Amino acid sequence: MQRFAHNAERADIVEPGKPTYEKLGGRWQQDFFQNENPITLEMGCGKGDYTVGLAARYPERNFLGLDIKGDRIWIGSTRAEELGLKNVGFVRTRAETLFQHFAPGELSEIWVTFPDPRPRDRDIKRRLTSPRFLNLYQQVLRPGGLVHLKTDNEPLFDFTLETVQQRLGATVLAHTKDLYATPELLPHAEDIQTHYERRFRAEGIPIKYLQFTL
């Protein structure tokens, strides 16, 4: 409850109950970041490891993390505040409401980092790389905008790769089932490690990476 109270006071967090909620679509650069720099969104950002890590690495760009868990977003927001970052923010909402928060072509890149693989067939549409979500990404991304997936889950990786390959107009730019055995792809994956990634690597589980356009 203390974290939720802090979130309510923080300008870098957009959430239900705040006047900016669902009102920034098409105006994130002007009204939130107050610059014209490109915007990258991390879906299901959790504690914001990638969002904050990328923001620290690229001060000339803007970064947003989207997640429904307010206590996790608080951690990312706190870390960004400690680092003095002004090019990072967080949106507390459900992934399927993406189009309510962003205008067509407003985003330059989307990262999906270690999402819930939703292994049951009845949950396919809930996977963050299902055709349902790819349709959303295509609407809010600029033409040629990149989508990145990092996961430990091989079935999810295979599902995503096949889905993208079968999609009209989509292009796979890079993919590997063992990122750290493919050093030439590490710069594309930005070599920032989330909490889950560190844990999976410690357990000897290969990290899969996929980059594509829609």
Annotated binding site for substrate: 152, 194-197
62-67 vs 39-43, strand pairing mode: parallel
DSSP state of 47: T
- Helix, strand, or coil here: 13? strand
- How crowded is the C-beta side of 179, counted as CA atoms within 13 Å? 28
116 is catalytic: yes
Query: What CA–CA distance (Å, rounded) separates 23 from 156?
Result: 33
Annotated binding site for S-adenosyl-L-methionine: 42, 67, 116
Name the catalytic one among 31, 116, 178, 191: 116
Q: What tokens were used for 33?
A: 């970041």
DSSP state of 185: G
Annotated binding site: 42, 67, 116, 152, 194-197
Q: In angstroms, what CA-CA distances link 186 with 1, 58, 192?
A: 39, 16, 9
Query: What CA–CA distance (Å, rounded) separates 63 from 54?
Result: 7
Select from 84, 49, 80 the least CA-distant residue to 191.
Answer: 49
Residues 45/65, Cβ–Cβ less than 8 Å: yes
Q: With both helix axes pointing from N to C terminus, report the angle between 49-57 and 70-83 in degrees, rounded to the nearest 10.
A: 20
DSSP state of 105: T
Active site residues: 116
